[in-house]
Amino acid sequence: MGIDWSEYRQRREKLMEKMGKGTAIFRSAPTSVMHNDVEYVFRQDSDFFYLTGFNEPEAVAVLAPHHEEHRFILFIQPKDPDKETWTGYRCGVEGAKEKYGADEAYPIAELDEKLPQYLKKAERIYYHLGRDKHFNDVILSHWQSLMATYPKRGTGPVAIEDTNHILHPMRQVKSASELAMLRQAMDISAAAHNRAREFVKAGHYEYQIQAEIEHTFRLHGGIGPAYPSIVASGSNACILHYIENNRQIQENDLLLIDAGCSYGYYNGDITRTFPVNGKFTGEQKAIYELVLEAQLKAIESVKPGNPYNEFHDIAVCVLVQGLIDLGLLKGDLEEIIKEEKYKPFYMHKTGHWLGLDVHDVGVYKQGEETWLPLEAGHVLTVEPGIYIGLDIKPAEGQPEIPERWRGIGIRIEDDILVTKTGHEVLTAAVPKAIDEIV
């Protein structure tokens, strides 16, 4: 399973249509040293990968729709048998044309020499400044040189424009091939969550549950975790990005697992919370039922045409009303929400885009007041939660939290596809109803 090479070509063609007579430049992700002379496993830059499928470091992709011969150019590391013995095979310059469809390819060392021919007739440069300071300087230097000679030639890029605003809307709407990859990532993620729930028992350490989860990812063909796996028992669940995973799990704990598999660079993202011994305390059950109700009602609002923020607003209303009913908040519902006095219990948004990046690219708003309307092909998470930390400090004017509620942290997260008529819960294979998890 994968993305056909023709789809990468179609993506480039679509982007070049938007560029007009511009030239776009994309830099591969850098390598990163783990310790001394050992590198972390390489992970390609998502924009670069989306357009090329090329998975080697030290590369630059250039799109020049105005060029007479070369519209797609790759600058890459050349073949080097000695280095390949140590670090793996390279496709090389010829392979870049034969396998990846480049109209022309050059060794990366020739970038400064060859790049100007693809810029001098461009009306603007499309490039995202900010990720790589050294490479930013390379692009700016070429642009300044071309601007210095512009009066004599009358042609050249008169501006640098960010690629994000033309590329990222394309990435937001998933193709059939991408959805197939996402479904596979989510199916593996679901299998790992279900395995973890079967395996866990009091006395295990959180890292043992993590091991079962990540073993399942690799066993089923995943690259590995889409992000550091969160296995949070007891009050650790009140730490949103808890990744130490070193506590011994106790009999009456809730266990929050936030873990997703990366498959072919596409990612799952699931959170479930359940009682280790199969029995909720009264307080745990009350909070769990509230979070589940908020999630189910939020998911109902995920449909084409609805503004992105609607499902978050619905979740907040349900959570706040529930906390009022439980005596953990007091006052008028609308005032509490307006003044954000619920934030000690619920401090994050209810979802995010999902795709090649776990927190995937794409805007959420169109201007200051208008939220982006959902459309078919969008994939997002819906993940409300309530966190009552041991040291929680209520907002001004709100009641103190009785000890029996402290240490409860619950989040429930699913991955949702916006369809033409509504939505599909892509991670429904992981149970969340109370009668299914106890």
Question: 367: number of CA atoms within 13 Å, CB side?
Answer: 3
Please confirm, yes or no, whether 413 is among the known catalytic residues.
Answer: yes
Between CA 304 and CA 130 the distance in angstroms is 33
Please confirm, yes or no, whether 383 is among the known catalytic residues.
Answer: yes
CB atoms under 10 Å from CB of 11, counted, come to: 19
Annotated catalytic residue, options 128, 411, 414, 415: 411
Contacts of residue 157, Cβ cutoff 8 Å, sequence gap at least 6 = 22, 23, 119, 122, 123, 124, 125, 143, 146, 147
Between CA 50 and CA 170 the distance in angstroms is 10
Please confirm, yes or no, whether 71 is among the known catalytic residues.
Answer: no
Which amino acid is residue 356, in one-letter code? L
Strands 125-126 and 230-233: unpaired
- The alpha carbon dihedral of 300, 303, 305, 308 has a sign of positive
Give 248's strand partners.
205
Annotated catalytic residue, options 241, 368, 400, 435: 241
Annotated catalytic residue, options 43, 70, 195, 352: 352
Between CA 166 and CA 15 the distance in angstroms is 7
Annotated catalytic residue, options 50, 242, 265, 387: 387
State whether residue 409 is helix, strand or coil. strand
Please confirm, yes or no, whether 206 is among the known catalytic residues.
Answer: no
Please confirm, yes or no, whether 352 is among the known catalytic residues.
Answer: yes
- The alpha carbon dihedral of 300, 305, 306, 308 has a sign of positive
Dihedral pair phi/psi, residue 34, rounded to 5°: -85, -55
Annotated catalytic residue, options 47, 187, 253, 269: 269
Please confirm, yes or no, whether 387 is among the known catalytic residues.
Answer: yes
Q: How many helices (H) does the chain have, and how many strands (E)?
A: 13, 21
Annotated catalytic residue, options 383, 414, 415, 423: 383
Computed over its alpha carbons, how large is the radius of gyration of the chain?
A: 25
Between CA 213 and CA 194 the distance in angstroms is 9
Between CA 373 and CA 364 the distance in angstroms is 9
Annotated catalytic residue, options 348, 364, 406, 424: 348
**By the 8 A CB rule, do 204 and 213 touch?**
no
Which amino acid is residue 110, in one-letter code? E
Between CA 91 and CA 69 the distance in angstroms is 22
Between CA 330 and CA 400 the distance in angstroms is 11
Annotated catalytic residue, options 45, 56, 253, 258: 258
Residue 213, classified by CB atoms within 10 Å of its CB into exposed (0-12), middle (13-18) or buried (19+), is buried
Please confirm, yes or no, whether 348 is among the known catalytic residues.
Answer: yes
Annotated catalytic residue, options 131, 165, 215, 359: 359
Please confirm, yes or no, whether 128 is among the known catalytic residues.
Answer: no
CA distances from 240 to 22, 264, 411 (A): 42, 27, 9
Between CA 330 and CA 153 the distance in angstroms is 71
Annotated catalytic residue, options 413, 414, 415, 423: 413
Q: Which residues are catalytic?
A: 37, 241, 258, 269, 348, 352, 359, 383, 387, 411, 413
